[in-house]
Amino acid sequence: MTITFQDLGLSSSLMESISKMGFEEPSPIQAQTIPLALQKKDVIGQAQTGTGKTAAFGIPLIEKIDVKNNSIQAVVVAPTRELAIQVSEELYKIGYHKRSRVLSIYGGQDINRQIRSLKKNPHIIVGTPGRLLDHINRKTIRLNNVHTMVLDEADEMLNMGFIEDIESILSNVPDERQTLLFSATMPDPIRRIAEKFMTEPELVKVKAKEMTVPNITQYYLEAQERKKFDILTRLLDIQSPELAIVFGRTKRRVDELSEALTLRGYTAEGIHGDLTQAKRMSTLRKFKEGTIEVLVATDVAARGLDISGVTHVYNFDVPQDPESYVHRIGRTGRAGKTGMAMTFVTPRELDIVKNIERTTKRKMERMKPPTLDEAIESQQQMTVEKMRSIIENDNLSFYKRTAEELLEEFDAQVVVAAAIKYMTKEPNSVEVKLTEEAPLYSKSKNKGRSSSNNRRKGDFNRRDGQKNRSSYGSRDRNKSGQGNKQRRYSNSK
């Protein structure tokens, strides 16, 4: 028997959020974890990325939050700032109608700014180990009222040398608490953490489902950052998609891409978390109706979108993890139709392709970036096909006299060439300047490390609209725990 979210006995505010997020029925890990967590039992969830584990712990966690109590009531520990931001955004959406406040904190961000945000009384903290411990040591975070602890991707935190930090954090939380631990694998040090800090935990183990659908052809294109936009426009000219989605990593990227595409003559608009709901709905309506050729979107904005008829997905920036990749390309190839997904990678990001292939168990074919000549030739071919169709199907008698006059004046080959030139949409060479994004790094090589150059401020999720802004940076830096620093960075480039 299929279980629904209604069967879980959740509050109306949570059900409203779940419905708004587009969740229909719980994933296997959600169906097994949520009832146990609502009973305040400790849970070990053994699950891969892509199984819906954030909502599995997020829904019961937020159900237990008392919004009238201004103290920190729950802490989620995550290995990287990317995951901390991603989790806090998801928790913000789950707790939106309950008015719960979520704050993400991580290394590399101004600590004084974080201290100011902490004074606004968040109910839930999502943080990386080093920065959490830094705040604990400074006494800017007090965990004496915490009733729920979540350790997310515990094996990844072990790989990054954070196990001692985790133990220190847990020792600062009341013994009378609920602890939820999630890990793809269960090495001995993780088992020891469970034995030491958890009380009779229930084990929930689920396999990652087949992550991709077979009717999407997947490609990757290796290109330098500054050449990606020209390659994108050539692909659009050659492939002539009916409906296309271009994914960018940040809100700034989406804004710049949609503006640049418009400058080059494409009808494009962007959607991201900073837009009003009315603007997002208007843009989506135009896209579904076909008045917009290209939709540019961030991961967060595109999750849960119900769009049919998308023929092509272009990952202008590589996704931060295989789960995001699956969500992105899942916009195409629906209802039995075929689709194409193309991912742009810089030379330093090639390992991310391998990581995606390992997780999805599907090979991505290498595509050679098209040249300008190939784009022009493709446009010409489309013009010729249109002309053939007109010749075969239309009554041309009204135009023949004008044609005869032209042929008396010019050579037939010149006349036809002029007609083809006039009808051909030649690639637009308007100069476009995009802000460069620093490359992401594969978890498999750098244990979740990403570039520290690409930082953006602000991460306090509140009901009043100060939403979490995307940030992609290096893994958490623990200034208070210098003893572990060398070990943590030993695998870094």
Q: Are 86 and 193 part of one and the same domain?
A: yes
The verdict on 434 and 467 lying in the same domain is: no
Q: Are residues 173 and 75 in the same domain?
A: yes
pLDDT at residue 88 above 80? yes
321 and 237 in a single domain? The answer is yes
Same domain, 165 and 275: no
Q: Give the SS3 label for residue 417.
A: helix
- How far apart CA 161 and CA 158 sit, in angstroms, is 5
Q: Which two tokens stand for residue 398?
A: 């009204």
Specify whether 459 is located in the same domain as 420. Answer: no
Q: Per-residue confidence at 306, pLDDT binned at 50, 70, 90?
A: low
Which pLDDT band, with edges at 50, 70 and 90, does 375 fall under?
A: confident
Residues 250 and 200 both lie in one domain: no
Same domain, 276 and 298: yes
0.85 exceeded by pTM: no
Question: Is residue 70 over pLDDT 90?
Answer: yes
Say whether both 373 and 247 belong to one domain: yes
Residue 89: inside a domain, yes or no?
A: yes
- Asked if residue 198 and residue 255 are part of one domain, the reply reads no
Percent of the chain with pLDDT over 70: 82
CA atoms within 13 A on the CB side of 229: 25
71: amino acid identity, one letter? S
Q: Which of 444, 459, 474 is the last residue of a domain?
A: 444
pLDDT band at 5 (very low <50, low <70, confident <90, very high): confident
Is there a single domain that holds both residue 151 and residue 258? no
d(CA 475, CA 482): 15
Distance CA 459, CA 438 (A): 20
* Three-state secondary-structure class, residue 29: helix
Beta strand pairing status for 460-461 and 102-105? antiparallel
The model's confidence at residue 377, banded by pLDDT at 50, 70 and 90, is confident
- How many structural domains compose the chain? 2
pLDDT in tens, 250-261: 889 999 999 999
Contacts 24+ apart (CB under 8 A), 201-204: 201/41, 201/42, 201/43, 201/44, 202/36, 202/41, 202/42, 202/43, 202/44, 203/43, 203/44, 203/46, 204/29, 204/32, 204/33, 204/36, 204/43, 204/44, 204/45, 204/46, 204/47
Give residue-wise pLDDT tens across range 396-455. Answer: 888 888 888 899 999 989 888 888 888 777 666 677 778 877 776 554 444 443 333 333
Q: What is the pLDDT of residues 91-146, one digit of tens each?
A: 999 999 999 999 999 988 899 999 999 999 999 999 999 999 999 999 999 999 99
Residues 58 and 135 in one domain: yes
Its domain, for residue 302, covers 210-395+405-444
158: domain CATH number is 3.40.50.300
Q: Is residue 18 part of a domain?
A: yes
Mean residue pLDDT across the chain: 82
Residue 107 buriedness (CB in 10 A; 0-12 / 13-18 / 19+): buried
Lowest mean pLDDT among 60-64, 89-93, 290-294, 477-481: 477-481
